[in-house]
Amino acid sequence: MNLAFLPDLSALTILIVILLLLRRRHSQQQTDVWLLGLFITLIEAVAHTFYAPVGVPNAVLHIIVLDCYLLAGLVFNWASGDHPISRRTAFLYLALNGLPLLAINTSYGLHLRAPRLYLAFVALGLVVGVTSSLTLRHSRILATVHLFGWIGMGYLISHGQLRPAVYWSLCCVYSIAAVNFSRRLPRNSTGRFAILTGFTIWALCFLLHPWVVNYAAYADIASHVWNMQKSLISIGMILVMLEEQVSSNQWLALHDELTGLPNRRLFEDRLAHAIDRSRRTNSPVALLLLDLNGFKHINDSLGHQAGDQVLREVAHNLRDTLHPSDTLARLGGDEFVLLTSSLADQRSIGHRIDAIQCAVERPILLAGRPTIISASLGTAIYPQDAQDATNLLRLADQRMYALKTKPVARAAAFNDAHATAM
Query: 336-356, pLDDT tens digit by residue?
Result: 999 988 765 566 778 888 889
- Kindly state whether residues 314 and 211 are assigned to the same domain: no
- Kindly state whether residues 153 and 26 are assigned to the same domain: yes
CA atoms in the 13 A half-sphere facing the CB of 202: 29
Instruction: For residue 259, tell me if it sits in a domain.
Output: no
Q: Which CATH number does the domain housing residue 389 bear?
A: 3.30.70.270
Q: If phi over 0 gives left and psi between -120 and 50 gives alpha, with beta otherwise, what is residue 317?
A: alpha
- Kindly state whether residues 246 and 317 are assigned to the same domain: no
Q: What is the structure's pLDDT at 93?
A: 93
Instruction: For residue 275, tell me if it sits in a domain.
Output: yes
Instruction: For residue 8, tell me if it sits in a domain.
Output: yes
Residue finishing a domain among 234, 254, 274:
254
- Kindly state whether residues 313 and 343 are assigned to the same domain: yes
- Kindly state whether residues 68 and 174 are assigned to the same domain: yes
Contact assessment for residue 157 and residue 143, using Cβ atoms and an 8 Å cutoff: no
Contacts of 207 (CB under 8 A, 6+ apart): 167, 168, 171
DSSP 341: S
Contacts of 204 (CB under 8 A, 6+ apart): 171
Contact assessment for residue 389 and residue 271, using Cβ atoms and an 8 Å cutoff: yes
Residue finishing a domain among 194, 222, 254:
254
**Ranges 77-81, 103-107, 285-289, 373-377, most confident:** 103-107
- Kindly state whether residues 173 and 289 are assigned to the same domain: no
Instruction: For residue 306, tell me if it sits in a domain.
Output: yes
Q: How confident is the model at residue 168 (pLDDT cuts 50, 70, 90)?
A: very high
Cβ–Cβ contacts within 10 Å for residue 148, how many? 10
- Kindly state whether residues 301 and 355 are assigned to the same domain: yes
Instruction: For residue 401, tell me if it sits in a domain.
Output: yes
> Over the Cα atoms of the chain, what is R_g?
31
Terminal C-alpha separation, the chain: 76
- Kindly state whether residues 196 and 292 are assigned to the same domain: no
Contacts of 335 (CB under 8 A, 6+ apart): 289, 290, 291
- Kindly state whether residues 204 and 121 are assigned to the same domain: yes
Cβ–Cβ contacts within 10 Å for residue 218, how many? 14
In 3D space, the residue among 115, 142, 118 whose CA is nearest the CA of residue 130 turns out to be 142
- Kindly state whether residues 82 and 153 are assigned to the same domain: yes
Residue finishing a domain among 213, 234, 254:
254
- Kindly state whether residues 319 and 222 are assigned to the same domain: no
| 3 state SS of 292 | strand
Q: How many whole angstroms separate alpha carbon 100 and alpha carbon 124?
A: 7
Give pTM, 2 decimals. 0.70
Instruction: For residue 155, tell me if it sits in a domain.
Output: yes
Q: Which amino acid is at 68?
A: C
- Kindly state whether residues 212 and 241 are assigned to the same domain: yes
Q: What is the pLDDT of residues 216-243, one digit of tens each?
A: 667 667 777 777 788 888 888 888 888 8
Instruction: For residue 22, tell me if it sits in a domain.
Output: yes
Residue 221: give the domain boundaries.
3-254
Q: What is the structure's pLDDT at 371?
A: 87
Domain count for the chain, please give it: 2
Instruction: For residue 54, tell me if it sits in a domain.
Output: yes
Q: How many whole angstroms separate alpha carbon 129 and alpha carbon 150?
A: 9
